[in-house]
Structure 1
């Protein structure tokens, strides 16, 4: 993938809060999926959401994107309550890649990527459609797929097509739910390198990950969740400690420095 600079329709001052959760709760039946969670997403950063299965990561991303309404607390987007934004206005300001992003209809690769431009129809930025689509296809390394039908692709190829669709929107906020789950090693690194370059260009990037070491390598901050609450939210080296990770994941680990970058590598103590 080519980590190119993507022009966006709006720019926010680096470090400014673009989206925030204030004491949010989500209840399903007798279970609290989120319990009093507060979190800020800032322009110019990659914020990773980590935690065990069922910790509330995807639910929190859905709240911050405006796809789910909290049962308590509130969400702010660009300084306003998120309920004050229309779906079209939100779509022009944040791009969302959901965990379940399968395309079942026989659209071509190009048609799916083109869907990312839908919010800009009948606006002056519609003139950018062709360049946005072609750059996104190149960035996601799917140009060789041509006009193949998406259902005929492998899981990893479909994931990259969905990522290209999100990139084509050229918004200033990326919200990615497990974007690397179906990808091989090389494309995992490429996706997060591109996300990293977007943050360095001033965008805000929120990403749900399961791989602790990817988060350590690419995130500016990590919010670690357990049972619907944030256990820690700080720089990777302050969150990914042996004590915190062993406790949250209920698995003994050690954290060692990478021999080149010095960033922490989390390793399970197998057999311990």
Structure 2
């Protein structure tokens, strides 16, 4: 992982977001570095998607500062920023009858009329293969299942080869195998030097794949650090309001979160 002294790819300091008189984020500070997979978790309404919106510029904080590559986010032009980071939102619906390949090709749009446009075909092919959707290339997106659409949207972001990925619950519609595939691919991108921030609900996926985790509750950070450090039974039971236990995986040693039943 990149040392904490190096300039973060993306950084938020004291960010506060208020809507309808309610603080959706309250004094949140995080730093995302190149070469790491950072997972953001928390119960429904904790502020996860709001945080992503603040980090990507989709919404403006009421207080605090967001920087990308050391510069204030507001100082970046949209075209310039789109070549530096890719964003996958929860809503990946496409009503127009584009084919799967055409949607993935959209991820290369920021590189048009640049020297890197020569990479387009290879980048699209690699992203389609990585997302396991080659057999769907000619299908129209409206005909796909929810999971197939999610994998197509993920391939579009990967095809951009931006160096930073911001992913909002990309595993929500995926089956078990494709969840694992996506997290492996995200981890591989981080190992290759990308900065990857991923919002998840699945604590065990985060424990297995993330370098660091941030746990949100009511718009505030309540735990941060490596999964083994942040995911304690006491903390998780309090945040999710249900008793859990955390046991080590028999092979990897990583924590497994289990609800206490009965």
Q: Same fold (TM over 0.5)?
A: yes
**Mapping for residues 25-36 of structure 1, pairs under 5 Å:** 25-36=16-27
Shift of the alpha carbon at 1:133?
A: 0.6
State the Cα deviation string for residues 70-92 of structure 1 (Å, max 9, x = none).
11111000000000001111110
Tell me the residue number matched to 1:9: none
Maintained 8 Å contact 1:14/1:202: no
Tell me the residue number matched to 1:60: 51
Tell me the residue number matched to 2:224: 233
Maintained 8 Å contact 1:47/1:219: yes
Unaligned runs of 5+ in 2: none
Tell me the residue number matched to 1:40: 31
Q: 1:177 aligns with which of 151, 168, 173?
A: 168
**Mapping for residues 1-272 of structure 1, pairs under 5 Å:** 14-15=2-3, 16=6, 17-271=8-262
> TM-score if structure 2 supplies the norm length?
0.97
The CA distance in 2 between the partners of 1:89 and 1:104, in whole Å, is 28
The CA distance in 2 between the partners of 1:170 and 1:67, in whole Å, is 21
Cα-Cα RMSD: 0.9
The CA distance in 2 between the partners of 1:105 and 1:28, in whole Å, is 32
Size of the aligned set, in residue pairs, is 259
Maintained 8 Å contact 1:242/1:254: yes
Maintained 8 Å contact 1:24/1:74: yes
Shift of the alpha carbon at 1:63?
A: 1.1
The CA distance in 2 between the partners of 1:131 and 1:89, in whole Å, is 22
Shift of the alpha carbon at 1:259?
A: 0.6
The CA distance in 2 between the partners of 1:108 and 1:24, in whole Å, is 39
Shift of the alpha carbon at 1:146?
A: 2.7
Classify the secondary structure of the residue corresponding to 1:210.
Answer: coil
Classify the secondary structure of the residue corresponding to 1:36.
Answer: strand
Classify the secondary structure of the residue corresponding to 1:195.
Answer: helix
The CA distance in 1 between the partners of 2:17 and 2:233, in whole Å, is 30
Maintained 8 Å contact 1:33/1:56: yes
Shift of the alpha carbon at 1:14?
A: 3.5
Shift of the alpha carbon at 1:186?
A: 0.4
> TM-score if structure 1 supplies the norm length?
0.94
The CA distance in 2 between the partners of 1:65 and 1:169, in whole Å, is 16
Maintained 8 Å contact 1:41/1:206: yes
Q: What stretches of structure 1 move > 4 A for 4+ residues in a row?
A: none
